[in-house]
Amino acid sequence: MSLTLHAEHLQAIYAHAERTYPEECCGLLLGTIAANEKVVHDVYAVPNAWDTDAANELNDSAALTKTRRYWIAPEAMLAGMREARQHNLDIIGIYHSHPDHPAVPSECDRALAWSQYSYLIVSVEHGNANDRRSWTLNEQHQFESEALQLAEVARM
């Protein structure tokens, strides 16, 4: 399986990640799945709702902040589902940033991940998005790198 998105989607994600630095940003990838390809048609930014309540609910360290964690509130996920449905799309993945860390999933990322989604992580070093990688979960609930393709813009 691979994840395909357009340059403008990637630019929107980068801009979101840079705007929220030094905190993690997060959002939804809306698109379609056909054969062995997930195709992003839109990105849907959501607020990082990480707080002590989320930490307590997940039995995570309440000392961790939005600089090392993200949380998508249930109401934001439902709004994203409605947005996707209105355009005959599905949520096919989640994106988030890692401020001053590589675009590699953390143990928390793995523990909270769902197998059907792609997880696009953007590394933001000193306020500049500089790397991105996509990941999926395998049958053993471990992350595997997923091919990430930039779609060509159709020319007239």
**Mean pLDDT calculated for residue range 134-138:** 97
Residue 41 CB coordination number (10 Å): 17
Residue 4 CB coordination number (10 Å): 17
Which pLDDT belongs to residue 31?
Answer: 98
Q: Render pLDDT for 2-56 as a digit per residue (tens, 0 to 9).
A: 999 999 999 999 999 999 999 999 999 999 999 889 999 999 999 999 998 888 8
**Mean pLDDT calculated for residue range 113-124:** 96
How confident is residue 155, by pLDDT bands cut at 50, 70 and 90? very low
pTM: 0.94
Which percentage of the chain shows pLDDT scores above 90? Answer: 83
For the chain, list the domains and their CATH numbers. 2-145 (3.40.140.10)
Are the C-beta atoms of 5 and 27 separated by less than 8 Å? no
**Least trusted range by pLDDT, from 47-51, 64-68, 125-129, 150-154:** 150-154
* HEC assignment per residue over 56-78: HHCCCCCCCCCCCCCCCCHHHHH
State the greatest distance between any 2 C-alpha atoms of the chain, in Å, as a whole number: 54
Which percentage of the chain shows pLDDT scores above 70? Answer: 97
Q: Is the pLDDT of residue 92 over 50?
A: yes
Measured in whole angstroms, the distance separating CA 54 from the mean position of its chain's CA atoms is 18
Cα–Cα distance, 108 to 77 (Å, whole number): 19
